[in-house]
Amino acid sequence: MKTDLSLLSLFTDASALVQIVMLILVSLSVISWTLILQRGYALLQAQRLFSSFQEKFHLSTDLNRLYDYLAQRRHQGFGIEQVFRQGFREFVRLYKQDVAPQVVMEGTERAMRVALANEESELEQHLPFLATVGSISVYIGLFGTVWGIMTAFRALGSVQQATLAMVAPGISEALVATALGLFAAIPAVFAYNRFFTQVDRLMRNYDNLAEEFSGALHRRLHSQSWQESEAEVARPNFEEDHK
């Protein structure tokens, strides 16, 4: 007598609890792969945006024009562009209030720190879920395996003579749960570690560029050229939130 050990038959012949475990693991794997593709694309876009903005920032001789360029676009932008927009907007707002230069810079840096924190949260989106899947999937699969083996050996207790053909299907369906647990956990752990490294590197780049931006604003605040261009800086479109 031949025993059907295909994946479909192993699932349909498994006990109800093992089937539930298999379905959970398959669902976690599908969700994980969806988030892996989504996060991978988002981080790739963020890196490209940073490289593009960094080049514009270093080549720009007028921060007003750079701000106007970002503010007049149809999309508000994200990533390092948001840090620049929030910092420059707060800088202009405080400067127009005629407060001390130290207060202007403290407010500007505080606005940039808030923007950086928001962008970090956005970049780390869904990473905790991947970490959770990588941590618990193996244990969920192991639980299904243990339960399946217990069921198989319990069934042997009702027969007088046990054979390998009788034990193989039960053990096989139990081991499938472990295999599914590994299939869900390994990509999630790999993706989490890779994405976490990318986010950390990207945030260091954000911080470095924010420091450069803060230094440029500090120099401009104390330069005579900034005092002479006060009328241009106070243009209404700097106060508007272009969306």
Q: How confident is the model at residue 237 (pLDDT cuts 50, 70, 90)?
A: very low
pLDDT tens for each residue of 8-48: 666 676 678 888 888 999 999 999 999 999 999 999 999 99
Distances (CA, A) of 31 to 39, 90, 130, 168, 196: 12, 40, 9, 31, 18
Burial class (CB in 10 A: 0-12, 13-18, 19+), 77: middle
Q: Is the pLDDT of residue 159 over 80?
A: no
Euclidean distance between CA atoms 191 and 134, whole angstroms: 9
> Distance between CA 144 and CA 136 in Å, rounded?
13
Which amino acid is present at 25? L
